[in-house]
Structure 1
Amino acid sequence: MLITTEVAWDLAYDAIFAQHGAAVDEADRDRLRGLDLTAVGLFLAERLHRPASSSALAEEALDLMRSHVDRVIAPMPGATQLVAELAGTRPVAVASNAPTDVVEAHLRRFFDLSGVVIVGGDMVDAPKPQPDVYLAACAALASDPADTWALEDSATGAAAALAAGLCVVGVPHTAGSFFPCHMRVGSLDDPHLRQALLGETTSGTR
């Protein structure tokens, strides 16, 4: 959402599919986007007809992602300015399925995280699409979910935010990707997004 880690994940999936004589399509990428590692392994095992290999496939995907991430990681367009503007006027949290230390390490390369709460998948009982990470983020911000915005780029994340009762802004990676949300924008530098987030007294979470 804020940084281009999805590029590294896509490269990892490309390699794994190729090893098994298959090719990733956009439907696969949409299904994989936003999943926790266990769910990634289960999806790959089913899709590649390797039902006994879900844990190994998940670990392979993680290792491949890590091998690519330093080369491709960068802030998403508009992310640096948006986070700086929000952090100066609103309580802000990052709610992710990834482990908290991994999220923080990646974000610190590009963002001032002073006052930003990070809630990773290792801090809650159930990952997205369950609402736990968003409910934990709202609790940490002392923010009512109904008065809190969530920015999401995946169906998995949007489902979690909606289940938690947040107002969801969809920022999909591809124009053809659709999932339920209250508002949809093309990128984080969309002026309509800034107007919505900075023009009302709400919190911002991801």
Structure 2
Amino acid sequence: MLKNRSPQWSPRAVVFDCDGTLLDSEKHWVDARCRVLADHGVVPDEKFTDLAQGVHYTECGRLMATMAGRPGAAAELTDALLGAFRTLAAAAPVTCPGAPELVASMAGRLPLAVASNCPQDVVETCLAGAGLLHHFRHVVVPGGPVRPKPEPDVYAEAAARCAIDPAECLAFEDSLCGIRSAVSAGIPVVGIGRNPSHESLQLADGWVSSLEDPELISWAGGWSGASR
């Protein structure tokens, strides 16, 4: 399943990204960005969408302010973005295909954590609304010395809280930004999505179109929580 690892290898802890991996909330972020930018008479293009995917919300606010021709208003647009996203996500939390089943199958067998660029309250509220939060021992987000993705900090911190060496963890990620973060932390990563970029495929240790992938489900079913 993973490049450069034996078929018998299994993780001792698993760290999930949230948006686009566990929760189908990328649409909420896209809609929130569109709402805020529309208030400034701007329609986001494909280039902006690619740049904004997976980045920390403050960086997204800066990108939006630049696109709106108001570079000094990054904080204002960031606040507006978070407000719009919270409203959309609270109204309709949706899990990604296969996420509830895969997470439930792992729970109790090995430590599970979430590493996200979103605010703590947003992540926990959305996961709770989707019935997933209780499965995770730790939710790690940027703050203090912990820098946002693509820096390695959130993944390194998640591994540390699970008390497992990063090389014996496994990450699940849907964005290039997040894949870079996990790889930089020394954690093997399975990428998720139907149209991965060349760089994403090169960096990821494995790739599936969704968490419903039969090979992934079969592989995960054999994990004991100890690297073999």
TM range (shorter): 0.7 to 0.9
Q: Go from structure 1 to structure 2 and tell me whether the alpha carbon gap of 1:112 and 1:68 turns closer, same or farther (over 3 Å shift).
A: closer
The alignment-based identity, stated in percent, is 36
Q: Go from structure 1 to structure 2 and tell me whether the alpha carbon gap of 1:43 and 1:90 turns closer, same or farther (over 3 Å shift).
A: same
Query: Who is 2:118 aligned against?
Result: 98
Tell me how far apart the structure 1 counterparts of residues 225 and 67 of structure 2 sit (CA, whole Å).
40
Question: Residue type of the partner of 1:182?
Answer: D
Tell me how far apart the structure 1 counterparts of residues 224 and 205 of structure 2 sit (CA, whole Å).
17
Query: Who is 2:154 aligned against?
Result: 133
Question: Residue type of the partner of 2:45?
Answer: D
CA drift of 1:64 comes to 1.2
Q: Which residues of structure 2 form unaligned runs of 5+?
A: 1-20
Given the two structures, how large is their TM-score scaled by the length of structure 2? 0.80
1:155-170 matched pairs, under 5 angstroms: 155-170=176-191
Query: Who is 2:212 aligned against?
Result: 189
In 1, are the aligned partners of 2:109 and 2:224 still within 8 Å (CA)?
no
Tell me how far apart the structure 2 counterparts of residues 150 and 32 of structure 1 sit (CA, whole Å).
21
SS in 2 for 1:54: helix
Match 1:107 to one of 102, 107, 127: 127
Alignment partner of 1:70 is 2:93: no
Query: Who is 2:65 aligned against?
Result: 45
CA drift of 1:96 comes to 0.9
CA drift of 1:124 comes to 4.4
Tell me how far apart the structure 2 counterparts of residues 54 and 112 of structure 1 sit (CA, whole Å).
31
CA drift of 1:112 comes to 5.3
Tell me how far apart the structure 1 counterparts of residues 207 and 46 of structure 2 sit (CA, whole Å).
19
Q: Go from structure 1 to structure 2 and tell me whether the alpha carbon gap of 1:193 and 1:13 turns closer, same or farther (over 3 Å shift).
A: same
Question: Residue type of the partner of 2:90?
Answer: D
Match 1:36 to one of 56, 67, 81: 56
In 2, are the aligned partners of 1:147 and 1:202 still within 8 Å (CA)?
no
CA drift of 1:139 comes to 0.7
SS in 2 for 1:121: coil
Q: Go from structure 1 to structure 2 and tell me whether the alpha carbon gap of 1:199 and 1:48 turns closer, same or farther (over 3 Å shift).
A: farther
CA drift of 1:201 comes to 5.3
**Which shifted more, 27-36 or 71-80?**
27-36
Q: Could you give the per-residue CA deviations for residues 75-94 of structure 1, whole angstroms, max 9, x where no partner exists?
A: 11111001101113221110
Question: Residue type of the partner of 2:32?
Answer: A
Question: Residue type of the partner of 2:216?
Answer: L
Tell me how far apart the structure 1 counterparts of residues 225 and 206 of structure 2 sit (CA, whole Å).
15
Query: Who is 1:6 aligned against?
Result: 26
Question: Residue type of the partner of 1:24?
Answer: P
In 1, are the aligned partners of 2:152 and 2:181 still within 8 Å (CA)?
yes
SS in 1 for 2:134: coil
Query: Who is 1:147 aligned against?
Result: 168
Tell me how far apart the structure 2 counterparts of residues 59 and 77 of structure 1 sit (CA, whole Å).
30
Tell me how far apart the structure 1 counterparts of residues 152 and 125 of structure 2 sit (CA, whole Å).
24
Tell me how far apart the structure 1 counterparts of residues 112 and 72 of structure 2 sit (CA, whole Å).
40
- Superposition RMSD in Å: 2.1
